[in-house]
Chains A and B, each alone.
Chain A
């Protein structure tokens, strides 16, 4: 069976409010904390949607668009950098599972 890469896997996810250009991010990450005091940058390894990435210089970046609301980063971050919430049903992004 053909293996899928992550973007192909995420392409199968049904996101809400996809047509809206302006969405309210449901997770706010203070990447200053990630890039100054965080000793482990755990989120960049554990996020199943790769919303947290580390660039070649070792700097952490975050994007909320691919988030599938699994909660992994909420538990992984013990540095106070991740302000996690569920997406607003009206103006947030977020998922509706077809199978779940």
Chain B
């Protein structure tokens, strides 16, 4: 491994693996370094991988008997929650059964390891079958800079050299900070902590309970009482024979309202709707992962510098604008685009910013940056107290009246709605909200 690589990719998560796959397919000589025992060993997500980019990396991945993914999403649900009730928007459609799927649930320890196997196959089929490597159990201490250009990495006493480095280290972006692309302190007010339990069931019980068919799956997000007054939300995703149940909770609110994440999770699990959903299950893992709210203020100043490209959550590429929590798909697309830029840089023989800035252009032209820029107002709106508390309470209050039959004269729905609005908010507040929502969503 003495020779210089075209590229060193740091981190075998979704972003790093997508980059590595693209490099291998383009006959590049690279080293993919992972600090865990295997790819995925240290990775945690909610997690749904949205969109169809996976099909670009592993064409017709669904044909494989036991691929690395858990279930494809054909059933989506957004649930408003108050203390006693849940009121859901529920959408299930046959069109989601068509391939390529538009969302698959994954468990990262299995998924990333599977994807790394596919990358190894691509390496074996490339011109550098003997010279490109996936190396695990190696922690990168430092990106080696010469004249402010990256020339390799250092791990313990060892150095590896390359024309370029793709930093795919994830949200705990120490190297990103070391090379000066992100400030030492990121405003914690726009960061949340995600915590999750994996709960196991008999597979038949799980499939019957959530009306799953074959490998179909459901994603359910929760807003309101779930978080006990803390900014954030909840999620439930169905895996093969487990569910991923968790919360994403704002650091600022936890601190100010003096609550602990695991207490809030147990609070969520005691809601009657959730208690029914998880009845009889066995908790098999508890995990956590800090995440950005999608506020662009926590994103690094730039995504490149001489010899370096930044991908995935290392660049805090993540967003929840109300439709879905997106992060792994951003990681995948940014990994692909970064690797394509490295391929161009090699062809030109220039790995400086003047070539690597093309990555920024590709990202700006992609749905990733277009969505992150276009939905900033939605991110801010979703994190307001009105959306987090008042709307869920109002919706559930209305639902309770609307669906209750009392053998008494029934008031008109409008009257019920106005009553609910007055109890939890005001017409004026909702008019403002509606106006903002129309513009931002």
- Residues of chain A touching chain B, judged by Cβ–Cβ distance below 8 Å, are 1, 3-6, 9-10, 12-13, 16, 40-42, 45-50, 68-72, 74-76, 78, 84-89, 94-100
- Residues of chain B touching chain A, judged by Cβ–Cβ distance below 8 Å, are 35-37, 40-45, 107-112, 137-139, 170-172, 174, 185-186, 188, 191, 193-195, 197-199, 242, 249, 251, 254-255, 258-262, 266, 269-270, 275, 278-281, 283-290
Q: A74-B290, A87-B139 are in contact. List 6 more A-B contacts (CB 8 A).
A: A1-B269, A46-B261, A71-B290, A84-B174, A86-B139, A96-B109
Q: A59 CA to B285 CA in the complex, in Å? A: 31
Chain A neighbourhood of B280, CB < 8 A: 1
Q: A94 CA to B41 CA in the complex, in Å? A: 10
Tell whether, in the assembled complex, residue B287 and residue A3 are in contact, meaning their CB atoms are under 8 Å apart.
no
Closest to B193 in A: A72
Tell whether, in the assembled complex, residue B42 and residue A75 are in contact, meaning their CB atoms are under 8 Å apart.
no
List the 9 closest pairs (A to B, CB-CB), nearest first: A100-B108, A100-B109, A9-B286, A48-B288, A70-B288, A71-B172, A71-B290, A72-B193, A97-B109
Least distance between B319 CB and chain A CB atoms (Å): 17
Chain A neighbourhood of B260, CB < 8 A: 45, 50
Q: A75 CA to B194 CA in the complex, in Å? A: 13
Tell whether, in the assembled complex, residue B275 and residue A1 are in contact, meaning their CB atoms are under 8 Å apart.
yes
Q: A45 CA to B258 CA in the complex, in Å? A: 6
Given A88-B139, A97-B108, A100-B107: A70 touches B193 (CB 8 Å cut-off)? yes
Q: A87 CA to B35 CA in the complex, in Å? A: 9
Closest to A14 in B: B285
Pairs A–B under 8 Å by Cβ, sample size 20: A1-B269, A3-B269, A9-B262, A9-B283, A42-B255, A46-B249, A50-B262, A68-B288, A74-B172, A78-B188, A84-B172, A86-B35, A86-B174, A89-B35, A89-B37, A94-B42, A95-B41, A97-B287, A99-B198, A99-B287
